Structure 1
Amino acid sequence: MPAYHSSWNDDAQGARQVGNLALLPFSSRIRGTAPTPADTNQPDIIDESLALFRPNSLFRNFEIKGQADRVLIYLILFIGDCLGKIAQARTWTSQDALKHLTTHALGHFALPGEPGFPMNQVFQGPAAGDRVSSDALRAYLVHARQETVLRLVEQHVYNPQDESTAGGSKPSKWWMAFQKRRFMGKQLGS
């Protein structure tokens, strides 16, 4: 059974490219540098990453079929990193998780092509010395990471109906079961 690929692979041709990563549009409540999609009712790359995280995390191999697949890979690795952080702090409520994971999303991280990035064999970073492209990629990934954290916590891992209970809700066991799974045997770090 093959892994699931991004439906944005065909649409990524018109998107701005930095290295071999497409800067795809997504709708966001957070102010950032990502382009706004033409149709905000359609699922964007972040929705797709959240939907494909669990099935794709079972695969150790993934054939890249387009530029959007690299964004999908990055976001799936980031979601796994976030679930690992939630699992380490077992007492987090949804507000605690949102606060800590947003701080994590804004923290320093290695870009593709930099030492310390776990998948440099798949990703090509910005050209050496091209500070403008490097800054654009970092701003885009920070924005994508923030929006992913927001959707992950509010819509998937923590059930909004459980917030009325004392101490807040617990993370969903259906999501936390995947916290130790490593997509392609890799993780982003920390």
Structure 2
Amino acid sequence: MPAYHSAYNEDTDSRVIGSMSLLPFRSKIRGPAGTPVDPNAMDIIDESIDLFRANSLFRNFEIKGPADRTLIYLILFISDCLTKIASSRSPLLLPEATKQLSTLAVDSFALPGDAGFPLNALYAAPRDRSEADALRGYLTQARQELVGRLIERVYNSGGGGAGVGQTPSKWWLAFTKRRFMGKSLS
């Protein structure tokens, strides 16, 4: 059974930096990401959250385009977020998880080409400083938006979407033991 790939691999309109597509997504956070043509359609953030659990089961992933590289990065960030939630003796409650993950989203992080980036073999480095700054801004905005949407999913009480619970779902935290491609961003 093959892994699931991004539906945006055929998108030729988005900018590519460091072999990653800078795809538009709906966001409440200011940043360089464009707004999608159809605001009701699934964007790369929704796609990465939806494909996370299925793709976490795979150790190998064939990259079919620049959108897959963006998807890989976001899936690895989701894995880091879930590890952060489950890292304490008892999983973090909603307010503390929101605070911890919001801090994680804006903390400094390595870009492709940096010594600390775990996937340098799969990603090209940005050509110059301006591209690196643009990629960092895009990924920071994507990480912040992803944290907001992930918290809604992980802390959903399961009552038919009726609200947000105070404790994380055990069905999401079960994936902290799995490493997509055997990698981690941290």
SS in 2 for 1:42: coil
Which structure 2 segments of 5+ residues have no match?
none
By how many angstroms is 1:46 displaced? 0.5
Q: How does 1:10-21 map to 2 (within 5 A)?
A: 10-11=10-11, 13-21=12-20
Indicate the residue corresponding to 1:181 in structure 2: 178
CA distance in 2, matches of 1:145, 1:57: 18
Q: SS of the counterpart of 2:136?
A: helix
TM-score (norm 2): 0.94
Percentage of matched positions with identical amino acids: 61
1:76 aligns with 2:92: no
Aligned to 2:99: 99
Contact 1:8 1:68 in 2 (8 A): yes
Once the 2 structures are TM-superposed, how far is the Cα of residue 31 of structure 1 from its aligned partner? 1.4
Q: Provide the alpha-carbon RMSD of the alignment.
A: 1.2
Which residue of 2 is the match for residue 132 of structure 1? 130
Structure 2 residue 42 is the aligned partner of structure 1 residue 43: yes
SS in 2 for 1:3: coil
Q: Which amino acid aligns with 2:31?
A: G
Deviation of residue 92 (structure 1)? 2.0
Aligned to 2:168: 171
Distance 2:40 2:4 in 1: 22
* 2:22 aligned residue: 23
3-state SS in 1 of match to 2:135: helix
Q: 1:49·1:76 contact (CA, 8 Å) conserved in 2?
A: yes
Instruction: Kindly provide the amino acid, as one letter, of the partner of residue 96 in structure 2.
Output: D
Could you tell me whether the CA contact under 8 Å between 2:86 and 2:92 is conserved in 1?
no
* Equivalent of residue 139 in structure 2, options 129, 138, 141: 141
Contact 1:162 1:169 (C-alpha < 8 Å) held by counterparts: no
Deviations 1:117-155 (A, max 9, x none): 11100011202xx1110100000000000000000002x
Unaligned runs of 5+ in 1: none
TM normalised by structure 1 equals 0.92
Aligned to 1:66: 65
Amino acid at match of 1:145: R
How far, CA to CA, are the matches of 2:18 and 2:72 in structure 1?
A: 15
* Distance in 1 of aligned mates of 2:3 and 2:156: 28
Counterpart of 1:123 in structure 2: which amino acid?
A: Y
One-letter identity of the residue aligned with 1:109: F
